[in-house]
Amino acid sequence: MDHRQQPSLSRFDHCPWLFEKEATREQRTAQRERQRSLDGDGEVGERCYVAESAAVHTDVLRLGDDSYIAAHAYVTGTLTTGTDCTLNPFTAVRGTVSLGTGVRVGAHTSLLGFNHSTAPDLPVFRQPQTSRGITVGDDVWIGSHVVVVDGVTIGDHCVIGAGAVVTKDVPAWTVAAGNPARRIRDRRETAGGEGARDGRAGAGSAGGGRSRDPLTRFADTARAQAADILARSWDGTHYADRPGTAPTVRAHCDAVEIADLLLSSAPDQLDAAEHIERLASLQDRETGLVPELGERPPPMDADGFLGEGPALYHVLSVGYALELLGASFRQPIAGVRDMTAGQLVARLEELPWREGAWSAGAWIDSWATAAHWNLRHPAATAPTASTALTSGTLEALFGWLLTRADPWTGMWGTPSTVTGRLQVVNGYYRLTRGSFAQFGVPVPHPERVVDTVLDHARDTRYFGAGRENACDVLDVAHPLWLCTRRSSATGDGGYRSAEIRSWAEGRLSAALRRWHDGQGFAFSPDSTGPGPEPGLQGTEMWLAIIWLLADLVGRSDSLGYRPRGVHRPEPAPKPD
């Protein structure tokens, strides 16, 4: 077979789009070996091609299906891509770089997701490196000989002209060129009316297809499908997270939250009064807690409250579902009402801060939320203050937390050599959600919190391609939102605002692609939590996450909704 019958590997290196159609069996075997030999933590999708002549020396490489790295490319650091991405010949991709779906990077272009410090006390070659990363959205064309510097986010549907030097974020739909790159026009100005799709399957399938804004289109789709998603999880008597699973208290509460967020009403399966009766009647008369369906109330600890189990989260989920329905718990939560300041401090000291900071944070979230409901309960207006809370317990809680926060991280708990900052960051979200955020108290050391959270968000064990679950993303998004607390936090020069925006843009683009038509969101791509099947919990959480991410980049108004329940961003209303 001559060269006209059997294309050379050199030809495929320069024209990798031909490989799938023209390669021989031997050449396909060689390509598989090439992919297996790549450095670092690797995951290469179907029908990908990595040129033999490309220098790929990565710590992490995640190539989506139908993507390729062409001849003489130079790739180091961490690269993650969606599907149908192209690195053409002689591209340089270094540092931390994330590409969406359908990204084309022209020949001789450099994406430099790292930088060197320039302090005068060290020679340049000894300066430490920094990396904020580069994020590129979906459906982006980056021309030849372009340079994109560290910290830049290029939004969905952008076109970057040949030779541009991109030093600042580029909003979605922008055509940019020049040195430094500047906006030339909006790509939709010549798009014939209807904007390009954002690459998310099913986004416009329910009446929202003519919206130019991907967020608006997504929200329109979610609203149009919300009733079917709720009906899917109703077994005729109760709500389950998804078909085939057991009914739970949380599933009913998630249904109420989703209906309130998207439909501004109670779920259709019952009228509002029936929803209220179902949920309120679950409260145990002696303890004020809500056990799981069909289970007895859990035993209380010596201080009158419990340490773990579903009833802890039901303090949040049932309480907020009732509030959204215009009702409340029928009685105070006894263990929190009767606990003394001394008992509370003793419990705080005994929480598993070293080995289980998430559990510690979750306990505080539940206790503080129970205190919030008790203060708003009608019994709180009675002559004796003990009907709501024992005097001084809330002050003891905030005093203990403020004096125990680590000034270097802004958090509570100890990182692990095995799981890194996961427990600490996730515990921070739960802790601050129920205490500082819910009661409107400023968090201590907010800039150190941003440092800690952004450092954690670079951990590819939890934020690598295809690894993000709802808890992990929420537990970064909410602290970033809480510590910036302004709608323009990513555009006004605030602390590490460009990095916050870059991270949020990347997560937002990925989150929108996770929607399953008629089913909602899955909690996780793997077996974590409720797992990879779409259900009520994943849908309720990701809807709130998308709002937080959109607000971090100044685009939440496009959604037309704002969380009001467990994941409400602002403090809860104060008692009358």
Looking at the DSSP bridge assignments, the partners of residue 44 are 63
My answer on whether omega of the bond before 180 falls inside 30° of 0, hence cis, is yes
d(CA 110, CA 362) in angstroms, rounded, equals: 44
Edge-first strand listing for the sheet containing 159-160: 49-50, 68-69, 86-87, 103-105, 140-142, 159-160, 174-177, 182-186
d(CA 484, CA 442) in angstroms, rounded, equals: 11
DSSP assignment of 364-411, as one string?
Answer: HHHHHHHHHHHHHSGGGGSSSGGGT--TTHHHHHHHHHHHHS-TTTSS
Looking at the DSSP bridge assignments, the partners of residue 247 are 240
DSSP assignment of 132-179, as one string?
Answer: --EEE-SSEEE-TT-EE-TT-EE-TT-EE-TT-EE-S-B-TTEEEETT
Q: State the burial class of residue 2 (Cβ atoms within 10 Å of its Cβ: 0-12, 13-18, 19+).
A: exposed
d(CA 233, CA 238) in angstroms, rounded, equals: 8
d(CA 573, CA 576) in angstroms, rounded, equals: 9
Asked whether 460 and 506 are in contact (CB, 8 A), the reply is: no
d(CA 206, CA 262) in angstroms, rounded, equals: 14
Tokens of 115: 């930088």
Looking at the DSSP bridge assignments, the partners of residue 113 are 95
Tokens of 113: 């997701």
Asked whether 144 and 106 are in contact (CB, 8 A), the reply is: yes
The reply to whether 516 belongs to the active site is no
What is the H or E stretch that residue 91 is in? none
Catalytic position from the list 14, 108, 116, 445? 116
Cα 406-409-413 angle, rounded to 5 deg: 60
CA-to-CA separations, 478 to 236, 265, 436, 482, 558, in angstroms, rounded: 35, 26, 12, 6, 19
What is the H or E stretch that residue 347 is in? helix 341-350
CA-to-CA separations, 472 to 12, 171, 357, 385, 529, in angstroms, rounded: 40, 26, 14, 39, 11
Q: Which residues are known to be catalytic? A: 116
